Amino acid sequence: MTDRQRGRFFVVLAAAAWSTAGLFQRELSVDTATHPEWEGPVSAYAIDDSERLTLVDPIAVPDTVRALFESREVVTVLTSTWHERDAALLGFPVWAPAPDRPEDQLVPATRYAIGDSLFGMEAFPGREGQLDLVLWNERIRAVIAGDTLVDLGNGLEIRATWLPEGVTVEDVATALRPLLDKPVELVLPTHGDPTDRAALERALA
C-alpha cells in the first residue's frame, strides 16, 4: 500500500550555547512525502552541529537541508531498519540497529546496539529490544524516540498494540525510566511532533 501523507522535517541545532528557545532553526513541511506502509504522519530530523549533519530516519529531505550537504559531514542514523525510508537514495553512511530481515534486503549499515554510543548519542532499549532503539543526545538534551514513544493524537505514549507478544507497556517503560535521570528537555518521535520532558514523564509513569 502506498499513500501520500504529510511528512515533517525538523532541523535541530546542536550549538554550544544551547537553549530551548533557540533549538529549532526551522520547521519544514513537506506535503509530497510518500511512505510505502504507513498512512499517518511521520517526522524526520537533522541534527546540525555546523560540522556534522546527522539525519535521523530521513524521508523527503527538503532542499533547505540538502543545501547543507556540501559543507557538512553527513551521516544517517536509523532507529530501526524498517525506518530506512530514503536512506539508500541519499547515499550517506548509515548506522542502524539489528536487522529485522536478511541483510541483503537492507541498505548496508554499521550496526549499533543497546548501550552503544554514536555521534554523541547513547542507545537505549526500545519496544522490540535490539530492533527498535531509543537514542539519548546529551548535547541537545533530546530523546529520539523511534517507534517506541509516539504521538498519534493522544499525547506521547507507548502503544500497547505495537508491542511484540509477551511485552507489556510496563516492561518498555521500566527499561526507559533511566532516561528520566538525564537532563531531558525535548522528545523527538518519528510519529508525531517534538514534545517535552513532561510528556516523557507521563508516558513512562
What confidence tens digit (pLDDT) does each residue in 142-162 have?
Answer: 999 999 999 988 999 999 999
Q: Which residues pair with 55 in a beta bridge?
A: 46, 76
One-letter identity of residue 53: L
Average pLDDT, the chain: 83
Q: What is the pLDDT of residues 48-69, one digit of tens each?
A: 888 999 999 988 888 888 989 9
- pTM value? 0.85
Domains delineated in the chain: 3-203 (3.60.15.10)
- Does residue 112 sit in helix, strand or coil? coil
